[in-house]
Structure 1
Amino acid sequence: MGRRGQAITLSISEQDKAQLEALALEFGLTWGDRPNISRLVEAIARRQLVIAPNHDWPKERVNALNRARTALIDAGEIEMAVAIAQLLLERSEITIPLRTEIEQFIHRPALPWRVEIERYIHRQCPFQLSYQDAAERVWNFTIHYAEIAIHEERQYLDCWCEETVDNRDLPELIHNWCLRLDRITDAAVSPVKGKWRDGLATIAVEMHLFSGLAFAYRSKTAKDEINEWLEEPPQVRRVVRRISNSFWFIREVLRYGKDCEIVSPDRVRDRMKREVLELYARYHTIAQPE
């Protein structure tokens, strides 16, 4: 006679019992034609069945982890970023584009030229960056200051360069360049002589905030030099901020709509005015005579 197995008692509700029987039946663990919970437990213990994590993560949790991954990349913590990437790949909730992006990152977590750039930034040593864009144009920049920045969820190299040709920003800011890193597939990086700057070139811009925005606005402490309420007109917030790129500044102000007005300097105000007029022209339809 064969040795009988040890008996165990499960204290579960009828609903849980029915769920376990359904699982046993699903995996063919039966006694005769009836589902057998004991065989189900035995299969789990012997790792014939693997208990997998649930697949009900909300979108917010996935996005938060992915933002943490990109923040770790920016901080140079590649190993920790890879660990989070591998965790995300185990989830079925992530979208196909995000899965493709993460798989590419794990395959090549740090491009050699990116690592080299970060070393120069850390050592505060000027360097030259050369690369070819998608239109097969070759770009050469002699960089005396650089930082990795996030603009609208994309990584950029914000840098002060000797070269100014084709830069369409204001004269005071034409040495500043904003290079989108994911569009650089390969690059040559080499040291150059010169002095490392304290930061990007900047100008002061004054703007007035109205209505709910005036109360909801939170100061960007690293950039805002003045953040105060005006006495006249009342309930208007005055903010003076140093900016390094008029394009990104105007992109931000456009989101505020009528609740934000650029007061000075006139050149930035005029650029904003042109954007508004072009936007108006896009939506304005002139009635055609019958």
Structure 2
Amino acid sequence: MSRKGQSITLSISERDKAQLETIARELGMLWGDRPNISKLVEAIARRQLLIASNSNWSSERIQALARSFQALTDTGQVEQAQIIANLLLERSEVSLPLRRDIERFLENLPPAWRLEIDRYLLRHQPFQLSYQDAAERIWNFTVRCGKITLHEKRQYLDCWCEEEGNSDIPELAHNWSLRLDRITDAAVIPVAGHWRSQLDRIEVEMHLLEGLAFAYQAKPEDTIVEWLADNQRIRRVVRQVTSSFWFLREVMQYAPDCVIVSPESMRDRLTAKLRTLCQLYDIETNS
């Protein structure tokens, strides 16, 4: 005769029951194709599964993971952010506001095409991106270098593409900056060929004056930050620039304490903007 197992009754909510079934399914404890809570309890009793405290992480560890989650989200590394998000949700130490933020993130994950872009960027795989903008124009780009970048709190795909026509100076004609939240749907497919190590870039020299010279903090793109030998109140900065659009938007914030010295093409772009601004405010210029 076969011996019948002893039965016990668990008084738990439907939500807790669903959680136990999820754990059982994840661990392969099934009855047929259904999760088996009895097998899960039995494995715990036989110490095949160890029960550990879920409230012993320090606040510093939680904060470090929360900052990592936010940084990955801001830079578009969605799959890595998901891993940390799910890890945090498993912890009882996570505060209710943070838990809600994470749950909102997981409920509103980017579309499949965006995740596909993230994978190609991670693998350095060239790809073709096709989409239709709000004006119903079709855009096709063959991307051979790129990264997700934050510009003014919005995510952009900064990329080197075979296609020209971005209205930048000739040296940067292949660099594009595509605002991702304006793409509602897209087709993304891999293409053959090599992956470039970086975007096209030019070297720009600028001089910082007055308080900006003392307050300026070097950026990763800066190759030289020094005081002029013949004028200790002027700071010389040389930077690698991949987009005149974003560079000039930054410089315009600091006028008149920031002067572009070279190249001439970048000076000309800023001069044109300043002339347009003078015309709008009825300011007369000599030329």
TM-score range, shorter chain: 0.5 to 0.7
Per-residue deviation, 1:107: 3.5
Can you list the C-alpha shifts for 1:32-88, whole angstroms capped at 9, x where unaligned? xxxxxxxxxxxxxxxxxxxxxxxxxxxxxxxx9996573374364332458989xxx
Runs of 4+ off more than 4 Å: 64-69, 81-85
Per-residue deviation, 1:267: 0.7
Gap regions ≥5 residues in structure 2: 1-66, 90-95
Can you list the C-alpha shifts for 1:121-164, whole angstroms capped at 9, x where unaligned? 11111110001111111100001001000001000000000001
Q: Which residue is 2:77 aligned to?
A: 74
Q: Which amino acid aligns with 2:222?
A: D
Per-residue deviation, 1:257: 1.3
CA distance in 2, matches of 1:72, 1:83: 19
Per-residue deviation, 1:233: 3.0
Per-residue deviation, 1:232: 2.3
Q: Which residue is 1:186 aligned to?
A: 185
* Aligned length in residues: 214
Per-residue deviation, 1:279: 1.5
CA distance in 2, matches of 1:216, 1:157: 30
Instruction: Name the SS of the counterpart of 2:149 in structure 1.
Output: strand
Q: Check 1:73–1:270 CA distance in 2 against 1; reply closer, same or farther (3 A cut).
A: closer
Q: Which residue is 1:226 aligned to?
A: 224
Instruction: Name the SS of the counterpart of 1:234 in structure 2.
Output: strand
Task: Provide the aligned C-alpha RMSD in A.
Answer: 3.1
Residue in structure 1 matching 2:270, options 235, 255, 272: 272
Q: Which residue is 1:238 aligned to?
A: 236
Per-residue deviation, 1:247: 0.3
Q: Which residue is 1:176 aligned to?
A: 175
Decide which moves more: 206-215 or 105-114: 105-114
Q: Which amino acid aligns with 1:71?
A: D
Is 1:162 paired with 2:165? no
Instruction: Name the SS of the counterpart of 2:233 in structure 1.
Output: coil
CA distance in 2, matches of 1:137, 1:84: 42
CA distance in 2, matches of 1:81, 1:262: 43
Q: Check 1:68–1:147 CA distance in 2 against 1; reply closer, same or farther (3 A cut).
A: closer
C-alpha contact (below 8 Å) 2:72/2:80 kept by paired residues = no
Q: Which residue is 1:51 aligned to?
A: none
C-alpha contact (below 8 Å) 2:146/2:159 kept by paired residues = yes
Is 1:253 paired with 2:251? yes
Q: Which residue is 2:200 aligned to?
A: 201
**Superposition pairs for residues 73-222 of structure 1, below 5 Å?**
73-74=76-77, 76-79=79-82, 80=84, 105-165=105-165, 167-221=166-220
Per-residue deviation, 1:106: 4.3
Instruction: Name the SS of the counterpart of 1:235 in structure 2.
Output: strand
Q: Check 1:120–1:192 CA distance in 2 against 1; reply closer, same or farther (3 A cut).
A: same
C-alpha contact (below 8 Å) 2:78/2:115 kept by paired residues = no
Can you list the C-alpha shifts for 1:145-191, whole angstroms capped at 9, x where unaligned? 010000010000000000013x1001010100000000111111111
Decide which moves more: 231-240 or 135-144: 231-240
Q: Check 1:209–1:285 CA distance in 2 against 1; reply closer, same or farther (3 A cut).
A: closer
Gap regions ≥5 residues in structure 1: 1-63
CA distance in 1, matches of 2:242, 2:256: 23
